Amino acid sequence: MYTSFDDTLDKIVRLLKSHQSEFLSGEELSRSLGLSRAAVWKNIKKLQFLGYKITSRQKSGYRLVAKTNLMLPWEISDGLQTETIGRKIYYFNTIDSTQNFALKLASKPHENGSIVISEQQTHGRGRRNRKWFSPRGGIWLSVLLKPNFEISQASLFPMLTSLALAIAIEKVLKLRPKLKWPNDLTLNNKKVAGILVDASIESNQIDYLVIGVGINFKIQPSTISKIVKNSGNFYGITTLVKKKEKADPILLLQSFLHELEQLYSKLVAGNLDGIKNEWEKRSSTIGRKVKISSSPSGEIKGMVIGIDDDGALLISSKGKTQRLLVGDISYQV
Ligand code: BTN
């Protein structure tokens, strides 16, 4: 695990970045870091292993030629415009589930806004106890929040998160994803990202929320589709960035965390209508004929007429309006 705090590697990268047009001597690095020359060399080796291209020249020292493709925590911090969300980052190359790690952090102090990210997950979790296939190339992260809210507002967070991600994708990748209720992001009607929220509640108040975000950033849709085709709610999978395209996941991540923080402060300020409007503008669900196979009241078929203030779906069916707070919908033609 690497973190965005307490890491020598972070300091070395920062020094190298600020001297990119020249060589930085081993002596200067060891003086600035308070490390022996041998320790500096060991850490440079680690950075090279992590994918940084660093040239070393006897007598001149070290120079950074290119940064890594990995989503290392100090790369996410570098240029991040948030105050709370993502200030502490826990990074893994491989983990069972970022969600599980974030749940363990939740009981510790000073972790409000912390994020956990991994290049791949071995036991990624999806909504409704499904497996979430999480190979390299995706962005798999969890955000820990401790909002001072009542339970009734917990269901707004998936909505907030999917909207923040849609806005970030629009800004950074110039794509126009749609929002499929409850909180899927789609491109060409295929799933490109999903959101899962684990909540802990104490006497009517939210104790903490762990918001899990799975983004098919640069994955192979056909391979994943074959694997997950028979799990529930499958309607096709796609990727944000194609194999040969170049795009930096870090820029998308930074933008997403920024948008999430902005929307979160709007919610704290009581501007729910603004958020709902923005969500509805991007929704592919409103005005659609839908089928819900497994609702508490059995199968429902009807027309979606809107979203309630708590994020519930409002469906007009057989002359009545039905509210759906959790579940999967499929579009009818
Ligand atoms: C869905 O079913 O649509 C939600 C998928 C959420 C997946 C993310 S990936 C990061 C985090 N860790 C997990 O194990 N799950 C969430």
What was the pLDDT predicted at 248?
95
What's the burial of 236, exposed, middle or buried (CB within 10 Å: 0-12/13-18/19+)? middle
Last residue of a domain, one of 41, 66, 91: 66
Res 71 pLDDT > 80: yes
| Residue 205 near residue 150, CB atoms below 8 Å | yes
Task: Looking at the structure, tell me whether residues 223 and 174 fall in a common domain.
Answer: yes
Q: Which residue has the higher pLDDT, 285 or 203?
A: 285
CA distance 149 to 205: 6
- Which pLDDT score is estimated for 7? 79
H helical segments located in the chain: 8-17, 26-33, 37-49, 73-77, 98-105, 156-173, 221-228, 249-268, 272-281
Q: Whose CA is nearest to atom 11 of ligand 1?
A: 212
Ligand 1, closest atom to CA 128? 2
SS3 label, residue 242: coil
Query: 296 and 261, same structural domain?
Result: no
Residues 61 and 186 in one domain: no
Instruction: Please give the average per-residue pLDDT across 189-218, as a whole number.
Output: 95
Q: What CATH number does residue 215 fall under?
A: 3.30.930.10
Task: Report the distance separating Cα 198 and Cα 208, nearest Å.
Answer: 8
Distance 286 CA to ligand 1 centre (A): 24
Please check whether residues 130 and 28 belong to one and the same domain: no
Residues 84 and 53 grouped into a single domain: no
Number of domains in the chain: 3
Residue of the nearest CA to atom 16 in ligand 1?
212
What is the residue range of 52's domain?
2-66
User: What does the DSSP 8-state code read for residue 133?
Assistant: -
- Could you say which of 14, 48, 66 is where a domain stops? 66
Residue 39 pLDDT grade (very low, low, confident, very high; cuts 50, 70, 90): very high
Are 212 and 97 contained in the same domain? Answer: yes
125 and 268 belong to one structural domain? yes
83-102 pLDDT per residue, tens: 999 999 999 999 999 999 99
pTM of the model: 0.94
Q: Give the model's pLDDT for residue 89.
A: 97
Contacts 24+ apart (CB under 8 A), 306-310: 306/280, 307/159, 307/181, 307/276, 307/279, 307/280, 307/283, 309/272, 309/276, 310/152, 310/153, 310/155, 310/156
Question: What would the mean pLDDT of 25-50 be, rounded to a whole number?
Answer: 94
**28 and 124 fall within a common domain:** no
**Residue 148 reports pLDDT greater than 90:** no
Domain of 37: which CATH number? 1.10.10.10
Q: Shortest CA distance to 98 belongs to which of 116, 120, 79?
A: 116
State residue 30's pLDDT score.
94
How far apart are the CA of 158 and the centre of ligand 1, in A? 12
Q: What's the token pair of residue 249?
A: 């996941």
Give the residue from 45, 66, 87 where a domain finishes: 66
Domain with 306 in it: what CATH number? Answer: 2.30.30.100
Our mutation pick for probing the ligand 1 site, out of 103, 105, 125, 136, counting the most ligand atoms within 8 A of Cβ, is: 125
Same domain for 80 and 154? yes
Specify whether 206 is located in the same domain as 83: yes
Of ligand 1's atoms, which has the minimum distance to the CA of residue 130?
2
- Tens of pLDDT, residue by residue over 226-247, are 888 887 788 899 999 999 999 9
Categorize the per-residue pLDDT at 124 as very low, low, confident or very high, splitting at 50, 70 and 90. very high
- What is the reported pLDDT for 227? 85
Instruction: Indicate if ligand 1 lies below 6 Å from the C-beta of 124.
Output: yes
CA angle at 11 for the pair 95 and 65, rounded to the nearest 5° = 90
Whether residue 171 is predicted with pLDDT greater than 80 in this model: the reply is yes
Does 296 lie in the same domain as 220? no
Whether 171 and 192 share a structural domain? yes
**pLDDT reading at 119 higher than 80:** yes
Q: How far is the centre of ligand 1, averaged over its atoms, from the C-alpha of 287 (Å)?
A: 27
Q: What is the mean pLDDT of the chain?
A: 93
The verdict on the CB of residue 99 being under 6 Å from ligand 1 is yes
Length of the chain: 333
Strand partners for 139: 215
Ligand 1 atom, smallest distance to 124 CA: 14
Q: Is the CB of 195 under 6 A from ligand 1?
A: yes
Exposed / middle / buried, residue 192 (Cβ in 10 Å: 0-12, 13-18, 19+): buried
Of the two residues 269 and 50, the one the predictor is more confident about is 50
Give, for ligand 1, the residue of 71, 100, 134 to mutate: max count of ligand atoms closer than 8 Å to Cβ. 134
Q: What residue's CA is closest to ligand 1, atom 9?
A: 214
- 99 CA closest ligand 1 atom index: 12
Atom of ligand 1 nearest to the CA of 123: 14
Q: Is the pLDDT of residue 293 over 90?
A: no
- Ligand 1 centroid to Cα of residue 193, in Å, is 9
Residue 27 is encoded by which pair of tokens? Answer: 């002596």
- Which residues have C-beta within 8 Å of that of residue 229, sequence separation ≥ 6? none
